[in-house]
Amino acid sequence: MRTNDIRLFLVDDLIAYRTSFAEALDRESDFRVVGQVSSIAEARNELINLHSAVDIALVGLRLPDGPGTLVLAELHTISPSAQLVGMHGTGNEREEAMAVAAGAAGIFPRASTAGEIIEGVRKLAAGELLIPAEARIEHLQRALAYQAEQHAAFSALSRLTHREGDILRALAEGKSDKETADEWGVSRKTVAAHMANLLEKLGVESRLQAVLLALRYGVVDLE
């Protein structure tokens, strides 16, 4: 290994994509993949035991156990100057903005060619910016707005009573007011009253909006 090799660490749960991508990177004379894993938990364990510093981590933004930027803390423990580049397949503006706010130095769609990513990695290693200052500011402004929205949503959800939370879960399961009333042994009027209070507290106009809000913030799960 030459001392000027760019040391890369890959975190992505799409194993076929990650391994083929790692092979493409390893074929570059100035690149060395020092580790590759599928999740945040695996990344944390691997980074603790890694016998090499890391220059750049290429990390999926949406991993099975959370947003990929959570890897940054461990990454900086072993390599304070290491940079994280997010990989995504959705083009989700919220995810991109939050990733940049969390410290991502760049964002690549998974549809990017190996050549495009290799070029970006070399630019980043040479000290160039992958995200222009103006675009970074826009991402940070969006992230602040999303964080304010998230805080307001969690605050509203926390004000729900236990019964209103049950109503929300019943909604997510597709149950009608009659089914919920029969299951609980109450009148449909009682269920409707809980529903009205629920919608008012969440600041939404429809039942669908209430369910989407709960799904977005992990209050209910359709699985």
Looking at the DSSP bridge assignments, the partners of residue 32 are 7
Mean pLDDT of the chain: 89
- Per-residue confidence band for 223, with pLDDT thresholds at 50, 70 and 90: low
Domains of the chain listed by start with CATH number: 6-132 (3.40.50.2300), 159-216 (1.10.10.10)
Cβ count within 10 A of residue 103: 14
pLDDT tens digit sequence for 42-88? 998 888 888 778 999 999 988 998 888 888 877 887 788 889 999 98
Q: Check if the beta carbon of residue 37 is closer than 8 Å to that of residue 64.
A: no
- Per-residue confidence band for 218, with pLDDT thresholds at 50, 70 and 90: confident
- Is the predicted pLDDT of residue 164 greater than 90, yes or no? yes
Structure-model confidence comparison of residues 218 and 149, the more confident one: 149
Q: Where are the alpha helices (DSSP H) in the chain?
A: 15-26, 40-49, 72-78, 93-101, 114-125, 133-158, 162-172, 177-184, 188-202, 207-216
pLDDT value at position 40? 92
